[in-house]
Structures are given as structure tokens and as C-alpha cells.
Amino acid sequence: MDYAVLSADIKQWGRELGFQAVGIADTDLSAAQGRLAERLGLGWHGEMDYMARHAQLRARPAELVPGTLRVISCRMDYLADAPGTVAAELAERSRAYVARYARGRDYHKVLRSRLQKLCDRIAERTGPFRHRAFADSAPVMEVELAARAGIGWRGKHTLLLDRAGSWFFLGDIYCDLPLVLDSEKENHCGTCEKCIEVCPTRAIVAPYRLDARRCISYLTIEHQGPIPEALRAPIGNRVYGCDDCQLVCPWNGFAAATPELDFQVRNGLDRASLVQLFAWSEAEFDERLRGSPIRRIGYERWLRNLAVGLGNAPSSPDVIASLKEKADHPSALVREHVRWALQRHGLAA
């Protein structure tokens, strides 16, 4: 087997399957393991206990999938439209802001399917080989592996960056094939710190250092309990995730729109009002968001997030009526955030 030829072919097959970039990395993540241990020691992972439980497996691919020699890292773009500035995107405070990656179909399903097709194509050439594909679904250091595979470099916001921006998903294939390694890319962030300066909750505490407990994406998606009161106002109308650090990044000015129909906006999530979404019943939530990554947070946390958004929205009869309608909601979590929102508008619950 000529592994140099196979490595080149894998990249070509990946592009044919819709990946914008494919690279190959080794499994030595010893340097990253130390950085992960530091973050865990500081408690920056918040309630994401799985980060600590599987810390060793994250840094040792060959223990997660025995026999792994190489990791094939794949990038798929998801930007469906040309974004504006942070101010323009968030100007309509009565509108709900949903992170761009979550406006279309669940990326886990899309990436897993394509990664498996790439595995099948490799097997046609090599015969059966040991492998396992991951799409943000296991203890895998996607960003670290992608950087080692030459897909991009880690930005100061801790996301992977490339000259074509950062609006993309990452997926990995662990395999036992001795493929030819790619070289890492040079970091091109320079002295720019726009992502650090724009963060509404100051979650990026220093270049390349993120305290997830303050991150809006963590607070609106991973965090299960009440959102800390001091962080509710800075969240604004961001009800699922946050794109501020990407919107402000100069490299994203070169980002191209995705050709993937699965990542096009569904349910009008690029323009829906807070009042409109807050009025959804649980049955409507389940039905409308079937096949969406948003559905995994559940209806209760969806209402919690929207209540915070409504508390930060301009006062209007519709906003007040919407909040009062759920003031006696069965969920204590929802009631607490509705009460806070009504107080923001000068009213008692």
C-alpha cells in the first residue's frame, strides 16, 4: 500500500463528500493534556463533568480506540448567509438571537453520515481497517487534532481559525492506517484581540483561555440550573449560543457560504421574535425543532433562556403579557427567570 497516495486520495474523497478541508494528525496530545488539566483544576468546565471524567481518554486517542495511529480531521462549513456586525446582528432586541450553527439541521447527523461514507470509501481501497468516526459525540479534542492536522490554528477565542474564518464544524476519524502526516499552520491572529474585547460576559479571560462558566454558549446550552443573575443582562437577546467572537473576527470576512442545504435556516430562527418563540407549547417545541441541535436542551431551559431575553427586551404590552402568561409555570426554573424578567420591566411577578 502506498500510503502517500492513499493520504492524498482521502483528502480528495473528502472534498467530493462535501468537506472543505481534510488533514491528517498523529495521536500525541501530551502538551494539550497539561492545558486541559489546568482548566479542569480551575473549574472552568462548569457543570460539564464529562470533561473531567474522560480527560485521559481525550488526550490519548489510542486508549479511546485501541490501535489508533492517525486521526483524519475533516472540516465542513455551515455559514448560510453573510453576517453583519455584532451591533447589527443584535440591534433588534425584541428578536431572538440563535447561534448560526444551530439554525439548520443537527450537524451531528450530517457529519456522522459523511464521515462514515469517507470510511467506506477508504475501505474500498484498503479492505477492512480499524476505525471509528466522531462528530462532537465522544471525548475527542477536535480543535487540537484539527490544528495538528493543518486544518487551521487555534484562535484567541479558543475556536479553530483558518484564513477562511471559523464558521465550520469539525469531525474526526480515528484509524490504524499509517497515513502521511500534515504540517501545522502558522498562527495568524497577530496582535488582534477583538474576540476578547467583544465578549459580553468576559468569558475569554486571556488569549486562548476561556472560562466556560461565563460563556453565553455554555450558559444557554450546557448549564442546567438558574443562570447567574449577574450574567443575565449581558446575555441580551441571545437565547441559544453566541456568535460575537466570530462576528468580530477579521478572518471571518473571508468566509464563504455553505453549499449544504441541511444547514439552511429552519423555522425562521434567523428572524423570530422572543414573544413568538416564548408562546410555543412543549408539543410545538418538540415538533418544530425535531432534527435541530436546539431540541436537546429541552423545553424548560428553552423557556428559561427566552425569559432572560424578554427581560432584556424593550418594554411593550406584548412582552409583558407574554411573561405574565408564564408567571405561574409549573417549572420553578422558568418561574424564577420570568419573575426576574418582569422585575426588569418594573413589575412584580
Burial classification of residue 31, based on how many CB atoms lie within 10 Å of its CB (0-12 exposed, 13-18 middle, 19 or more buried): exposed
Phi/psi at 316 (5° precision): -160, 160
Q: What contacts 261, CB < 8 A, 6 or more positions away?
A: none
Q: Which residues pair with 173 in a beta bridge?
A: 72, 133
Which residue among 9, 26, 136, 318 is the active-site one?
136
Confirm if 298 and 289 have CB atoms less than 8 A apart: no
In angstroms, the CA 321 to CA 20 distance is 47
- Which grid coordinates belong to 216? 453565553
Is 136 marked active-site? yes
Which of left, alpha, beta for 158 (phi over 0: left; psi -120 to 50: alpha)?
A: left
Three-state SS for 145-157 is HHHHCCCCEECCC
Coil, helix or strand at residue 165: strand
Separation of alpha carbons 42 and 214, rounded Å: 13
**Residue-wise DSSP of 201-242:** T--EEETTEE-GGG-HHIIIII--SPPPHHHHHHHTTEEE--
Q: How many CB atoms lie within 10 A of CB 282?
A: 12
The Cα–Cα gap between 62 and 73 comes to 15
- In the chain, the amino acid numbered 64 is L
Asked whether 161 and 189 are in contact (CB, 8 A), the reply is yes
Which residues, other chains included, contact 299 with Cβ-Cβ below 8 Å and sequence gap of 6+?
282, 285, 286
Q: Give the catalytic positions in this structure.
A: 136
